Chain A
Amino acid sequence: MILQLNQVSKNFGGLAALMNVSFQVNRNEVMGIIGPNGAGKTTLFNLITGVLTPSSGDIIYQQQSIVGLKPHKLTEIGLARTFQNIRIFGQLTVLENVMVGAHVRSKAGLWHGLWKTPFARREEGNIKQRALELLDFVGISNHADDTAEALSYGKQRRLEIARALATEPEILLLDEPTAGMNETETTELRDLIQQIQVMGKTILLIEHDMHLMMSVCDRLAVINFGKKIAEGQPDQIQSDPAVIEAYLGKEAV
Chain B
Amino acid sequence: MDFILNPYYLQIVMFMAINAVLGISIYLTLSTGQLSLGNAGFMSIGAYVSALLTIKAGAPILVSVLCGGVAAGCMALLIGLPVIRLQGIYLAIATLGFGEVVRVIVLNLKITNGALGISGIPSMAVIFGKQLSEVGLSSGMGGLTLQQIANLLVLLVLIAVVAVLVFFCIRVHNSRVGRALAAIKADEKAAEVMGIDVTYYKILMFCLGAVVAAIAGGLAAHLTFYIGPKDFAYHRAVEILLFAVLGGSDVVWGPLLGAFLLTALPEVLRFAAEYREMIYGAILVVMMAFRPQGLLSTQTLRYIKEKLGRSRVNDTSTQPG
Q: What residues make up the interface of A, taking CB atoms closer than 8 Å to B? A: 49, 51, 70-72, 75-76, 80-81, 83, 87-92, 96, 99-101, 103-104, 106, 108-110, 112-116, 120, 123-124, 127, 163-164, 167
Contact = CB atoms under 8 A, between A and B. Distances in A.
Nearest to A163: B194
B171 interface: yes
26 contacts: A71-B192, A72-B194, A72-B198, A75-B195, A88-B190, A89-B187, A90-B186, A91-B250, A92-B186, A99-B179, A100-B182, A100-B194, A103-B194, A103-B196, A104-B195, A106-B176, A110-B175, A112-B175, A112-B176, A113-B172, A113-B175, A114-B171, A114-B172, A124-B176, A127-B176, A164-B194
Nearest to A96: B179
Interface in B196-210: 196-198, 204
B196 A100 contact: yes
Given A100-B179, A109-B176, A110-B172, 20 more contacts: A51-B193, A70-B192, A72-B193, A72-B197, A76-B195, A80-B194, A81-B193, A89-B190, A91-B182, A91-B298, A96-B179, A100-B196, A103-B194, A108-B175, A110-B177, A114-B172, A120-B175, A120-B176, A163-B194, A164-B194
Contacts of B171: 113-116
A110 B195 CA distance: 17
A103 B175 CA distance: 11
Interface in B105-135: none
Contact of B187 (A72, A87, A112): A87
Contacts of B204: 110
B77 to A, nearest CB: 16
Looking at chain B's contact residues, the main secondary structure is helix
B193 A75 contact: yes
B196 A72 contact: yes
A201 B30 CA distance: 37
A154 B110 CA distance: 65
Contacts of A110: 172, 175, 177, 204
Contacts of A72: 192-198
> Which of B176, B180, B189, B195: most chain A Cβ within 10 A?
B195
Interface string B156-189: 0000000000001001101111111011001101
